[in-house]
Amino acid sequence: MDKLLGIDIGTQGARLLLTDSKGVVIREINKDFDFENGRIEQDPNIWWKSTLSCLKEIREDCIGLKSISVTSTSGTIIPLGNDNNPLHDALMYSDTRSSVESKEIEEILGVNVKPSYSLSKMLWFKKNYPQKYREVRKWVHATDFIIGKLTGIYSITDYTNALKSGFDVSELKWININKIGLDVNHLPKVVAPGSLVSNISTELSELLRLDKNIQIVAGLTDGCASQFASGACEIGQWSSTIGTTLVLKGVSEKLIQNEVFYSHKHPDGYYLPGGASNMGDDWISKWYTKDELMNLNKYANQEYPSEKFIYPLLIKGERFPFQCEEANLIDDKYLNDKQRYLAGLEAVGYIEKMAFDSIEKITESDIEQVFVAGGGTKSEAWLQIRSSILNKQLIVTENPNAAFGAVLIAASQTLYNSLSEAKNNMIHINKIIKPDDSNTQYKKLFKKYKEWLRLNLN
């Protein structure tokens, strides 16, 4: 039986997902990270240590493993030296210290760059760590680093990870970053997700007692991986993924880019327009324990819609659906834990609707269905609230997570001939959620929330 393995290096932990050729999960394993300030910097060696530990645990199930791919956060970047070891901790996508550099790059190169982009982080690193910068021989993304550990090759990246480092997806080439004082020779070769990088390294295959012919293929960002896992792989389809951040992505024949939208390159040649908010579900794990969630969701299911407003942003700065460098948590001290939980679910739903309203305006389209992925799909109450706020059907597949998206990419050029073929054979719809009667009230509450947020952010 042919098997595929997807590796997801998230903000909060590593997940490995092993499936058969039809997408049936054989084994899943997770290992949490324990970083004190993991939204700014993380030690990539911890990522690999956790990944290797998981691989050792599942190796008995890996007989017949055909291919492996990797996904991780978009915009995270690591400087490597001559020995391919990190010269510094990974600069995370959510690190906004490079806001000055992003504006500088825009002025010099005339391209849209945000502090969350890896390109601005590279320039920030050069200014703040000049000695370390002189030792840089490669810049790699989180996905590339793990693929490097699997193969020994650190010089290849993919369309999706390369975008925020200065890759022109329409021309398929790096922009001239030498103009801002960086060295384009430090950037990797760019290939389509699913392209063969190499077989697993001899050293690792012997260590894990795995078949030496296992193919390691180029990966993709977690937002794109979650999009594909959700089922949104074909033209006109849109996905919404709620994890540590909220990411909306679609598939288009045309390149769509502006101050808040960027477009990745689809493995089959289309474009993947989208935007990412710093808002997500991280406030849930910060404020509540896993043991509390069942009762909290029960309360939310019984009491929605509420008229309580909060803005559960745990880091400073917002990038989509609006840009506000000073945006931060807005809480209501008079709410109890249950009320705050429901208000938080609704707040993310309101931000999601603001984002889709913007997308529909730019694309001049009416999106009726949204494929959803990420941790936000685990709560039935939240799915219903989001569907009613958005006034759209939500489609949930059996494995709507980034690790399964990596599995699809692992299969797309090995067991199958394209991503579309892999999707048709491996993705199965689990349920469809439709707006309920609360939609009428949520239309009014959404207008009130937008005004409340405008007043409180100014």
* Mean pLDDT calculated for residue range 241-269: 86
Residue 34 is predicted with a pLDDT of: 87
| Residue 236 CB contacts under 8 Å (≥ 6 apart), including other chains | 250, 251, 252, 365
Residue 458 in this model has a pLDDT that exceeds 80: no
Instruction: Report the SS3 class of residue 351.
Output: helix
Confidence of residue 5 (pLDDT cuts 50, 70, 90): very high
Whether 433 and 384 have beta carbons less than 8 Å apart is answered as yes
User: Is 447's pLDDT higher than 90?
Assistant: yes
> Which stretch of DSSP H or E encloses residue 392?
none
Question: Does residue 341 surpass a pLDDT of 90?
Answer: yes
* Of residues 266, 192, 253, 217, the one with CA closest to residue 420: 266
What are residue 421's phi and psi, to 5 degrees? -65, -40
Q: pLDDT tens across 119-143, in order?
A: 999 999 999 999 999 999 999 999 9
Which amino acid is located at 219 in the chain?
G
Is residue 239 within a helix (H) or strand (E), and if so which, with residue range?
Answer: strand 238-242
pLDDT in the model for residue 436: 97
Percentage of the chain with pLDDT > 90?
A: 83
Backbone angles phi, psi at 99, to 5 degrees: -65, -40
pLDDT of residue 431: 95
CA–CA distances in Å: residue 172 to residues 35, 121, 160, 264, 269? 36, 22, 11, 11, 11
For the record, the structure tokens of 37 come out as 């300030």
Structure tokens at 277: 């908010």
> How far from 95 is each of 14, 79, 107, CA to CA, in Å?
20, 15, 21
Residue 395 scores a pLDDT above 80 = yes
Average pLDDT over residues 77-92: 97
Residues 328-337 have pLDDT tens digits of: 999 999 999 9
Confidence of residue 419 (pLDDT cuts 50, 70, 90): very high
- How do residues 309-321 score in pLDDT, each as one tens digit? 999 999 888 888 9
3 Cβ contact partners less than 8 Å away, ≥ 6 residues apart: 18, 19, 20, 21, 26, 61, 62, 63, 64, 65, 66
Pairwise CA distance, residues 249 & 240, whole Å: 7
Task: Say yes or no to pLDDT of 433 above 90.
Answer: yes
Question: What is the per-residue pLDDT for 386?
Answer: 98
The predicted-structure confidence for 39-49, as pLDDT tens digits, reads as follows 899 999 999 99
**Higher-confidence position of 363 and 2:** 2
Judged against a pLDDT cut of 90, whether residue 377 lies above it is answered with: no
245 or 393, which is more confident: 393
User: 375 pLDDT band (50/70/90 cuts)?
Assistant: confident
Q: Tell whether the model's pLDDT for residue 453 goes beyond 90.
A: yes
Q: Residue 364: what pLDDT?
A: 85
Strands 271-277 and 13-20: unpaired
* Residue 15 predicted with pLDDT over 90: yes
Residue 292: pLDDT band (50, 70, 90) is: very high
**Averaged pLDDT for residues 178-192:** 97
Q: Indicate whether 258 pLDDT > 80.
A: no
Q: Hey, what are 377's tokens?
A: 């799909």
Distance CA 357, CA 354 (A): 5
Q: 276: closest CA among 352, 181, 189, 379?
A: 352
Query: Which residue type sits at 318?
Result: E
Tell whether the model's pLDDT for residue 27 goes beyond 90.
Answer: yes
Distance of CA 284 to the CA centre of its chain: 18
Return mean pLDDT, the chain: 94
Report the DSSP beta bridge partners of residue 27: 18
